[in-house]
Amino acid sequence: MICSEPWLFHDMGMTGQTKKVDFGRESRQKEMAIVNPDHPLAASLNDNVEISTKSFYMGWGVPGKAAIPVAALKQDPDKYTIFAYEAGAEMPGTEAPARRVGLFLFRGTAKTLTPQAWSLFNAVVDWSVGKTDPVMKAEVKTKPSR
């Protein structure tokens, strides 16, 4: 399950319940910081990554201890823009019944995403469905889908 609506992170059990503390959106964002470059969800990216050609509201969450952190707001490394849970992992609100990913996308952002952002999106989809084919990972880097 992929959730790109930060207001639903709590409802899905992925974060605590306090708006603007456990989940929210940050205005005027174009970049994020990759905090776990070795994880497949990072799409082989590292450091700061430009993900949009225009500033937008970027969704974020503060996940539980069993979460896999992947990327964060560039200015606030405690607010994760990509985080995930393996099936069975303990989340703040429940146990993950299947893989779950919190994703930075917010309303109307797809039309301004960079190739790096599409690589992250494709990596999230692949990981969520258990796809680990290294050939597909290479294609994601060079040919983002839209």
Structure tokens at 89: 């992992």
Give CA–CA dist 103/100, Å, rounded. 10
pLDDT of residue 109: 86
Per the prediction, the chain carries an average pLDDT of: 90
Contact by Cβ (8 Å): 62, 22: yes
pLDDT grade for 56, boundaries at 50, 70 and 90: very high
Q: The whole model's pTM is what?
A: 0.88
Residue 125 in this model has a pLDDT that exceeds 70: yes
Structure tokens at 110: 């797809």
Nearest CA to 137 among 70, 47, 43?
Answer: 43
Residue 140 in this model has a pLDDT that exceeds 50: no
